[in-house]
């Protein structure tokens, strides 16, 4: 059973099963507080997130009835969250199209902005489908090992034009001997998402460095910038689906890039961590045992 609550615990969305089986659940009404507490029949899982500056919570209430029901509810919860994320760009698109019909409006400008919203929606759908493929096993993440440096240089070259527009310098620092247990395509996805995160959020005049190196018994793939960074409170949440730190609320992105990075790295036997860059900025470290 799946619910979406606002910061005052008012029900924004509720799955049909939640409305049918949970007493007192109705969209637009406060959630009975007892439903957020575990009891003999139910186990609630609460996932906080933010959308356009609003703090909301996804609540998954499972019965103790087996793994299949749990899987179905989790899938329903993810679908509800994706649908919620699509509402904002769709609403903006509708406003732009309606504005374009007004007398004296620069229709060409409105259409250009509308196309940007369509691109945003397409990007979100692509990321959701890709993450779904990863989770259902349709994409093999680890298959042999891949030399890291050529992939990092390719990603730097591919993003050079965007980096110039964003005012971000991209650097590559690479130990040529390092190979990682990730397929080339998956490694490129990881590096590209790390770069994309920096280009969106690091800020103009910053430097983003893609690096591969050995540290003791570990092989590291690191994306680090010297931008504004994020708060210590937000660091552990950067890999949550759809989470955006305060500075990122008004920057367009799907909120799935770092979630995809974590899924690929963990599936390939590694671990991922976010930390503050010494002197300011954000560092994402992906580590494997050498």
pLDDT in tens, 19-67: 877 888 888 999 988 888 877 667 777 878 776 678 888 887 766 555 4
What per-residue confidence (pLDDT) applies to 248? 45
Take residue 127 and report the two structure tokens written for it.
Answer: 């990321």
Report the distance separating Cα 142 and Cα 138, nearest Å. Answer: 12
Report the distance separating Cα 113 and Cα 110, nearest Å. Answer: 5
Report the distance separating Cα 14 and Cα 141, nearest Å. Answer: 35
Query: With bands split at pLDDT 50, 70 and 90, how would you rate the model's confidence at 131?
Result: low
Residue range 251-283, pLDDT digits in tens: 455 567 888 888 888 888 899 999 999 989 999
* DSSP-assigned beta bridge partners for residue 193: none
Taking alpha carbons only, the member of 214, 215, 205, 230 closest to residue 284 is: 230
Q: What is the percentage of the chain residues whose pLDDT exceeds 90?
A: 29
Report the distance separating Cα 53 and Cα 49, nearest Å. Answer: 10
3-state secondary structure of 76: helix
Residues 6+ apart with CB under 8 A from 218: 287, 288, 289, 290
Residue range 154-209, pLDDT digits in tens: 999 989 998 999 999 999 999 999 999 888 888 988 999 999 999 988 999 999 99
CATH architecture of 146-289: 2-Layer Sandwich (3.30)
């Amino acid at each position: 059973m799946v619910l979406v609550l606002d910061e005052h615990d008012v029900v924004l969305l509720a799955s049909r099963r939640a409305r049918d089986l949970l007493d007192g659940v109705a969209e637009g009404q406060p959630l009975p507080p007892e439903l957020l507490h575990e009891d003999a029949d139910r186990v609630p899982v609460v996932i906080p997130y933010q959308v356009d500056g609003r703090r909301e919570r996804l609540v998954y209430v499972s019965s103790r009835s087996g793994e299949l029901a749990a899987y179905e509810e989790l899938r329903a919860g993810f679908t509800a969250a994706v649908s919620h994320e699509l509402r904002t760009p769709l609403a903006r698109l509708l406003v732009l199209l309606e504005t374009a019909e007004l007398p004296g409006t620069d229709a060409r400008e409105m259409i250009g902005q509308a196309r940007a919203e369509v691109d945003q929606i397409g990007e979100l759908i692509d990321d959701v489908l890709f993450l779904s493929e990863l989770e259902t096993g349709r994409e093999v993440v680890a298959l042999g090992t891949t030399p890291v440096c050529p992939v990092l240089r390719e990603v730097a070259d591919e993003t050079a034009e965007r980096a110039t527009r964003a005012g971000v310098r991209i650097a590559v620092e690479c130990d040529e001997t390092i190979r990682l247990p990730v397929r080339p395509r998956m490694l490129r996805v990881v590096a590209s998402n790390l770069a994309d995160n920096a280009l969106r959020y690091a800020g103009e005049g910053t430097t983003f460095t893609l690096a591969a190196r050995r540290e003791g018994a570990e092989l590291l793939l690191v994306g680090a910038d010297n931008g504004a960074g994020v708060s210590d409170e937000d660091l552990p949440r950067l890999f949550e689906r759809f989470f955006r730190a305060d500075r990122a609320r008004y920057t367009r992105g799907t909120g799935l890039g770092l979630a995809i990075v974590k899924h690929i790295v963990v599936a390939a036997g590694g671990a991922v961590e976010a930390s503050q860059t010494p002197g300011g900025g954000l560092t994402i470290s992906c580590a494997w045992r050498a």
